[in-house]
């Protein structure tokens, strides 16, 4: 909070000082032993966060780059690719697959909900891959049936590619146990690191498809990235070294806390947000069973302008929240419940929201909202 702002966006999120400080360490060469040691530790700790014994690679790019890299490596022109579409980020995956020439079958799902296994099952025959956004950041809905979707995809011999950009490290996602073939996340969300890196886990089945693809991209060639890691613990091209320092620290923090405890902390904070919002008389955008623990999306009352509300929260209280995207634009605010989230951020954000609504003429039960949140946080 060094600039006085609390970053309650659905990414980037607040970053512990320890992680920020790591970025100011002196640079090192990326072909020397210091980098190799750093890189190896990052990969080992990333495997822990992904709950995988398989390969994890770190790319110098944002989450979108990681998702595009997965698709461009694993998918070839003419491949059938199934994408349940329930928000902006699933639309983007579908578009990314179309751009490599895939035959994309979109399964439309009502925004505010997420795909059920039976909605997708019929589309999978002959598919090369099923691409799922695990947490639709544009709506705040989590694909709670992801494990079942993975099972169905396995039965159909399709790969499962999961965009977990806004959730990995903040909710349950055992990559190996569920059988996710390629899982992608970004550094700036639940890992509580600055933006600029993407992390991908890759299964043996995915490698088979990737190796067989003669049209892999040059810069984001995963086979080459794996060879560089396996043979010398390096990256093919110059990595963003200060961000690697930050990621190293962020992943150490995850290990110190323990993944289970971290997920439980996100759950508790999400429950507190939803309880507080309900007591304010506000309605979350997603239906109850799909509500995300990492992105809290809530409808703004019709007598309040979303942008005026965001401005009031920022200018009067220094709290940043996001507006909607696509169909949710102008309807909702989205609050990040990510990474370093604790009771403190939940209560400050709810206070700023309640006070801003009141100052814009929409009175809420401030005390009741905060009490409801405190109860969920175990503070009352």
Ligand X SMILES: Cc1ncc(COP(=O)(O)O)c(C=O)c1O
The residues binding ligand X (CB under 6 A) are 11, 62-64, 67, 89, 133, 135, 137, 163, 165-166, 186, 195
**Nearest CB to ligand X, comparing residues 161 and 377:** 161
The least distance separating ligand X from the CB of residue 63, rounded to whole angstroms, comes to 3
Output the smallest distance, CB 347 to ligand X, in A: 25
Least separation in angstroms between residue 83's CB and ligand X is: 13
Shortest distance, CB of residue 299 to ligand X, whole angstroms?
Answer: 20
Residue with smallest beta-carbon separation from ligand X = 63
CA distance linking residue 143 with residue 295, whole number of Å: 13
Q: What CA–CA distance (Å, rounded) separates 299 from 95?
A: 28
Interatomic CA distance for residues 135 and 185, integer angstroms: 11
Q: Give residues with Cβ within 8 angstroms of 359, minimum separation 6.
A: 312, 316
Which is nearer to ligand X, 81 or 377 (by Cβ)? 81
Nearer to ligand X, 7 or 279 (CB): 7
Which residue, 278 or 331, has its beta carbon nearer to ligand X? 331
Query: Which residue, 163 or 376, is less far from ligand X as judged by CB?
Result: 163
C-beta closer to ligand X: residue 213 or 294: 294
Nearer to ligand X, 73 or 356 (CB): 73
Residues with Cβ within 8 Å of 120's Cβ and at least 6 positions away in sequence, in order, are: 82, 84, 107, 130, 149, 152
Q: How far is the CB of 181 from ligand X (least distance, A)?
A: 17
- Taking the complex as a whole, the smallest distance from the CB of residue 163 to ligand X amounts, in Å, to 5
């Amino acid at each position: 909070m060094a600039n006085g702002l609390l970053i309650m966006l659905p990414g980037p999120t607040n970053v512990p000082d320890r992680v920020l400080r790591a970025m100011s360490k002196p640079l090192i060469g990326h072909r020397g032993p210091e980098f190799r040691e750093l890189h190896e530790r990052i990969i080992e700790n990333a495997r822990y966060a992904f709950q995988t014994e398989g390969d994890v690679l770190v790319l110098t790019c944002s989450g979108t780059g990681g998702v595009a890299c997965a698709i461009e490596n694993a998918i070839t022109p003419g491949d059938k690719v199934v994408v349940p579409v329930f928000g902006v980020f699933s639309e983007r995956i579908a578009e990314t697959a179309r751009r490599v020439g895939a035959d994309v079958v979109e399964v439309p799902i009502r925004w505010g909900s997420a795909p059920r296994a039976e909605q997708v099952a019929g589309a999978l025959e002959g598919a090369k891959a099923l691409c799922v956004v695990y947490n639709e950041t544009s709506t705040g809905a989590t694909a709670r049936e992801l494990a079942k979707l993975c099972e169905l995809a396995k039965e159909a011999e399709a790969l499962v590619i999961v965009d977990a950009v806004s959730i990995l490290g903040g909710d349950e996602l055992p990559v190996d146990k569920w059988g996710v073939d390629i899982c992608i996340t970004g550094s700036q969300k639940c890992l509580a690191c600055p933006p600029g890196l993407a992390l991908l886990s890759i299964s043996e089945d995915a490698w088979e498809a990737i190796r067989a693809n003669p049209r892999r991209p040059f810069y984001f060639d995963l086979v080459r990235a794996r060879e560089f890691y396996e043979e010398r613990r390096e990256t093919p091209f110059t990595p963003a070294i200060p961000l690697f320092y930050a990621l190293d620290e962020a992943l150490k923090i995850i290990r110190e806390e323990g993944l289970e405890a971290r997920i439980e902390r996100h759950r508790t904070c999400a429950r507190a947000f939803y309880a507080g919002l309900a007591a304010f008389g506000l309605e979350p955008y997603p239906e109850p069973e799909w509500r995300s623990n990492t992105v809290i999306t809530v409808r703004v009352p019709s007598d309040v302008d979303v942008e005026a509300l965001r401005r009031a929260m920022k200018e009067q209280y220094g709290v940043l929240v996001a507006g909607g995207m696509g169909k949710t634009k102008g309807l909702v605010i989205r609050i990040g419940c990510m990474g370093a989230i604790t009771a403190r951020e939940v209560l400050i954000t709810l206070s700023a929201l309640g006070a801003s609504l009141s100052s814009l003429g929409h009175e809420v039960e401030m005390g009741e909202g905060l009490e409801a949140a405190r109860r969920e946080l175990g503070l009352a």
